[in-house]
Structure 1
């Protein structure tokens, strides 16, 4: 049995961009703060976790996902990445490859879907996965073989940890978001149903289907405004199921990779040296702990 580490890259790229001054530039005077911070995070991860199998995933677009076909407003309120960051994202992809980590992105499937697909494949083969992210949505992947790990905060979550954080079990996360929605991703949910009510409903019913199969029981629940909640659910039925679909991570994204492709063999000097020269990262090279033969 192997442990496969699957990194949701962009949250850590953004974190680096906003935490390291833009005064850090390459020899041409262009900001490289996000690349530098992301590089530090990857090197620290490699040193501390010593992964034998690892992959990086990236989001390629905010508005071409298959989810936008079903709901054009999906993620529509997000501001485009600052120009000073956009040119660094490709450098982060190049960095991952130079450090010896395969990188995956798709214009129709999000990084979450690529992780979900890879995790489903490897757990089916009897392996473990560590999903490295700060995105609560990926909590839905957690089970006996999949762990959620926000590396920046040292926050590891098993199924009980997801429930302690969100109030619902991993398999209920899409149902929770179907009810409460998610303003960050422009997932509407049911109007008037917040997180606290969604948790209460999913304590009483296992999923959205069970809730809608017996709205009469919802109206009789011992929660504040139960009859009103049932009425809101009835009015928001279509959006509830649409929202759950939007929040459900795909397990069938077009990413073909096996253990051999994800085996970590170290950094590639032929890629590192010209990249680090372009970025002005000369001293960072000394922090690389493993090189390909």
Structure 2
């Protein structure tokens, strides 16, 4: 069952997967906005409007995570073919990506980016910090791969635009495995969007059957006799197949696993939104050709001031 934000009290501690919302705007909006430098800024407009809407909901803790490790991340060092099928941003798109990060900072959000770790990893590390407290955390994204982070019942993925939340049980219902099994699941079936190879002949249904009852790949490979009681097609030869592809499986697990153990916060940093400087933020919007959003910005600033 998919749970919407209207059926549960939404968290006010948010971790935002920026690229999802930037590219949604980039591909859905016409190029009706231009910066003073002559660059189209439709993605910046959509992303800024999204952030201002979030500001109006007054989150208590929030971070925006950006992808900058497009060729330099540790996964590329492990496997040069990682995400090789994805085109790199051209100059015009790179301008918009940089401008989105500039806007997020001007609106008081804590921003995180790295040339080693992806946005997913930054979210995983910040989630590990926030889950030291019992309050729920929402991960604003459309990327269901982040479901592997839902180790607590109260945390969820939130597709903000579609107004849909996915909890632990929703991940199981969709994939047939629990969040803590997602890395093993992806190592078996692969991930075409990230160019992560899977085990030949293992599809989604077979992988879910192999990992039923919360089994792990490590347990299956250490105790191959477990396959004797399994009834899916090819079960008898699966132990040999896993052994044959053991190195590939180990690599895929490294590529699919989200990093959660890097301390990203400075001493005393809490992710509490900073007060917006209206003059500076309005000037930035004007420079980016987004002056029509100044009225909404003013509303956010007055909300912050309690007016």
TM-score using structure 2 length: 0.88
In the other structure, the counterpart of 1:203 is: 212
1:155-194 alignment, distance < 5 Å: 155-194=164-203
Q: Specify the alignment match of 1:31 in structure 2.
A: 40
- TM superposition shift of 1:92: 0.1
Q: Give the conservation status (yes or no) of the 8 Å contact 1:193–1:232.
A: no
1:225 aligns with 2:234: yes
Q: Match of 1:40?
A: 49
Gaps of 5+ in 1: none
- Greater Cα offset, 276-285 or 79-88: 79-88
Which of 76, 80, 86 aligns to 2:84? It is: 76
Following the alignment from structure 1 to structure 2, what is the Cα–Cα distance between the partners of residues 50 and 215? Answer: 52
Residue ranges of structure 2 left out of the alignment (5+ in a row): 1-10
Supply the RMSD in Å over aligned alpha carbons: 2.0
SS state at 1:152 partner: coil
In 2, distance between residues paired with 1:151 and 1:7? 10
Residue 133 (structure 1) aligned with residue 120 (structure 2): no
- Give the whole-Å Cα distance in 2 for the aligned partners of 1:89 and 1:220: 51
Alignment partner, residue 251 of structure 2: 242
> Alpha-carbon deviation of 1:111?
0.8
Offset of residue 261 of structure 1: 4.1
For 1:261 and 1:160, the matched residues in 2 are separated by: 29
Aligned-partner Cα distance in 2 for 1:152–1:95: 20
Deviation sequence 1:208-255 (CA, Å, 0-9, x none): 111212223225411112124333222211111221121111112351
Q: 2:300 matched to which residue of 1? A: 290
* Cα distance in structure 2, aligned partners of 1:55 and 1:252: 17
CA distance in 2, matches of 1:215, 1:204: 16
Deviating more after overlay: 100-109 vs 203-212: 203-212
Count of aligned pairs? 291
Q: Distance in 2 between matches of 1:3 and 1:67?
A: 32
**CA 1:31 to 1:255, structure 2 compared with 1: closer, same or farther past 3 Å?**
same
State the SS of the aligned residue for 1:262: coil
Which of these residues, 215, 235, 239, is aligned with residue 224 of structure 2? Answer: 215
1:158 and 1:259 mapped to 2: Cα distance?
Answer: 30
Match for 2:277 among 268, 271, 288? Answer: 268
Using the TM superposition, give the Cα deviation of residue 3 of structure 1 relative to its aligned residue in structure 2, in angstroms: 4.2
Instruction: State how far apart, in whole Å, the 1-side matches of 2:280 and 2:154 are.
Output: 34
Q: Give the C-alpha shift of residue 192 in structure 1.
A: 1.8
CA distance in 1: counterparts of 2:292 and 2:283, whole angstroms: 13
Structure 1: distance between partners of 2:33 and 2:250:
46
Which position in structure 2 is the counterpart of 1:19?
A: 28
Quote the offset at 1:24 in angstroms. Answer: 3.0
Q: Is the 8 A contact 1:177 1:243 kept in 2?
A: yes
SS, match of residue 286 in structure 1: helix
Q: Which of 110, 113, 117 matches 2:118?
A: 110
Indicate if the aligned counterparts of 1:181 and 1:189 stay in contact, CA closer than 8 A.
Answer: yes
- How many angstroms does 1:265 deviate by? 4.3
